[in-house]
Amino acid sequence: MKFLKLADCCCFFSGGTPTKGNAEYWKGDIPWFSPKDIKRLNLVSAQDRISELAIQASATRLIEPGTILVVGRSGVLAHTLPVGIVRQPSAFNQDIKAIVPNENHDAEFVALYLKSNQALVLKDGVKRGPTVHSLIADFLEKLEIPAISLNEQRQIAARLKAQLAEVETARQAAQMQGREAELLRRQVLQAAFDKLNDVPCKRLGEWAKTTSGSTPSRGDKRYWSPADIPWVKTGEVAFAPITATEEFISRRALAECSLTLLPPQTVLIAMYGQGKTRGQSAILEVEAATNQACFAILPNSTWDAVFLHHWLMASYEDLRKLSDGRGGNQANLNGALLNALKIPAPPLDEQSRIVQRLQAQLAEADTIAQAASAQLAEIERLPQRILAQAFEKVGNSA
């Protein structure tokens, strides 16, 4: 089997970003792709659109349908190599590499071949930074592709697309199953607390001690070493018990940085964070400190920690609405809003009985969710296996 370097059968070029300050550049109908848009092989739309004037006045360029786009600079290059093909005249930014195969090479075959080499590219072809990673210059150009006829390329691409379409159907079904499990969980929680409408409510800040934390200076190594004390970030507050943390601080940091060592059974609420994080809650199972974005409710004699956590879970959407429309660049919760919450406060023994019933009812939803999650994880691995096997077979053929 003969092989060709991609540079010998494809043209490579980069894009650019029109000036953000010129509104006329961003009023057109030309899709303008950035790394966040490269999620599937078939690229039919982008979040942003630009005008022909922007094409003329900037480093971006108009590309034809069938052009391959590969993310060249992004945090996602830590774990995946996004590859896609545009289906209409488009433009793209400087963090993307565009590839145009010559007349003897099928774009879909080339794109699928690139995706099949994801493990190799991530291992040897990516320069890693603290948060953003970049493709090493000319690495893709030096990759070798099987030199087979255009007809064979199209046949292989068609078979692979059909297989990947079946995988996508299975992926969507597993996602739907997971959403149904989450809906069942919300319904169970809502029904349980709807029954407490006549129970007296108490204001959180008046009946429980609350606090938050801080982030020790990253520039002072004494605050991070020795790593003695678990330190919680909002991304770890995710409706699950916290038994371990990604980062640790020193005892010096605890003493000098406005931090509190929180005991087990402290309930945490994420006051802000990316995506769905804001409003999520969790129970600490270990002694730990937190950053300033975590609101902590210490163990108290008014609410059982698990009861309180379940109420917060049932109130997740309401908590998020509390901070919507407050102005600024990001809607955040804060201590004043959370301390003002009015929470049902039945006797502790009744709270325990409610928790026992809830946990039994939620077990079914948890079982469905775990099965769907395991199935989805397996499905997510299938495309790379299918691609790797297909191109290994092509490479081993006579």
The predicted pLDDT at position 324 comes to 73
Q: Is residue 301 part of a domain?
A: yes
Tokens 């979040």 map to which residue? 47
Return the CATH number at 74.
Answer: 3.90.220.20
Per-residue pLDDT for the chain (398 aa), expressed as one digit of tens each?
789 999 999 999 999 999 999 999 999 999 999 999 999 999 999 999 999 999 998 889 999 999 999 999 999 999 999 999 999 999 999 999 999 999 999 999 999 999 999 999 999 999 999 889 999 999 999 999 999 999 999 999 999 999 999 999 999 999 999 999 989 989 999 999 999 989 999 999 999 999 999 999 999 999 999 999 999 999 999 999 999 999 999 999 999 999 999 999 999 999 987 678 999 999 999 999 999 999 999 999 999 999 999 999 999 999 998 877 554 445 789 999 999 999 999 999 999 999 999 999 999 888 988 999 999 999 999 999 999 999 888 877 64
Q: Is residue 241 part of a domain?
A: yes
**pTM of the prediction?**
0.70
Same domain, 139 and 211: no
Same domain, 206 and 329: yes
The predicted pLDDT at position 393 comes to 83
Residue of 30, 86, 21 lying closest to 53 (CA atoms): 30
Q: Is residue 119 part of a domain?
A: yes
The predicted pLDDT at position 337 comes to 94
Q: Is residue 304 part of a domain?
A: yes
Q: Choose one of 115, 130, 147: the last residue of a domain.
A: 147
The predicted pLDDT at position 397 comes to 66
Reported as half-sphere exposure (CB side, CA atoms, 13 A), residue 63 has a value of 30
Residue by residue, DSSP assigns 279-313 as T-EEEB-S-BEE-TTEEEE---SSS-HHHHHHHHH
Contacts 24+ apart (CB under 8 A), 388-391: 388/116, 388/119, 390/112, 390/116, 390/156, 390/159, 390/160, 391/112, 391/113, 391/116, 391/146
Judging by beta carbons within 10 Å of its beta carbon (0-12, 13-18, 19+), is residue 385 exposed, middle or buried? exposed
Same domain, 20 and 111: yes
Same domain, 130 and 214: no
Q: Is residue 377 part of a domain?
A: no
Q: Is residue 276 part of a domain?
A: yes
Same domain, 7 and 143: yes
Could you list the residue range(s) of the whole structural domain that residue 106 is in? 3-147
Domain count, the chain: 2
Same domain, 210 and 341: yes
Q: Choose one of 328, 345, 362: the last residue of a domain.
A: 345
Task: Collect all residues with Cβ–Cβ distance below 8 Å to 269 and sequence separation of at least 6.
Answer: 237, 279, 280, 281, 294, 295, 297, 312, 319, 333, 338
Q: Is residue 27 part of a domain?
A: yes
Same domain, 130 and 258: no
Same domain, 140 and 228: no
Same domain, 91 and 27: yes
Instruction: Let me know: does 210 contact 296? Beta carbons within 8 Å.
Output: yes
Distance CA 115, CA 170 (A): 20
**Structure-block tokens of residue 189:** 């929680």
The predicted pLDDT at position 325 comes to 55
Same domain, 138 and 226: no
HEC sequence for 216-238: CCCCCHHHCCCCCEEEECHHHCC
Cis geometry, peptide bond prior to residue 263 (ω within 30 degrees of 0): no
Radius of gyration over every alpha carbon of the chain, rounded to an integer in angstroms: 26
The predicted pLDDT at position 392 comes to 86
Give buried/exposed letters for 97-122 (b at 16+ CB in 10 A, else e): bbbbbeeebbbbbbbbbbbbbbeebb
Q: Choose one of 302, 323, 345: the last residue of a domain.
A: 345
Q: Is residue 64 part of a domain?
A: yes
Same domain, 10 and 138: yes
